[in-house]
């Protein structure tokens, strides 16, 4: 992946909330390690051809907010304003 000429297949960064982990509590330096590889052969073994360590300290991101909730979250009795249920 020569600088400026990398073909990138993006994988989303997903933050999942868990007990005690749903808040960012400390500043940190973040890095991404990217691996270039040959097409996966039929034997299922990846052949890595290079890697890059990327400093994200000056990386500008955009936020993609998405609605996410379970049926339990959405259909709270106090939130239902009308229903065909008897």
DSSP string across 17-60: P-TTTSS--S----EEEEEEEPPPPTT----EEEEEEEE-TT--
- Weakly modelled stretches of the chain, pLDDT under 50: 1-5
CA–CA gap between residue 50 and residue 35 (Å, rounded): 6
pLDDT at position 16 is 58
| pTM score over 0.75 | no
pLDDT at position 10 is 52
Cα 82–chain centre separation: 36
pLDDT at position 12 is 53
pLDDT at position 2 is 45
């Amino acid at each position: 992946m020569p600088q400026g000429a990398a073909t990138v297949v993006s994988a989303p960064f997903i933050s999942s909330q868990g007990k005690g982990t749903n808040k960012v509590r400390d500043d940190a330096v973040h890095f991404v390690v990217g691996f270039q590889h040959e097409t996966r052969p039929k034997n299922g073994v990846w052949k890595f051809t290079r890697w890059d360590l990327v400093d994200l300290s000056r990386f500008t991101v955009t936020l993609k907010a998405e609605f996410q909730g379970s049926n339990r979250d959405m259909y709270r009795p106090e939130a239902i304003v009308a229903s065909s249920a008897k």
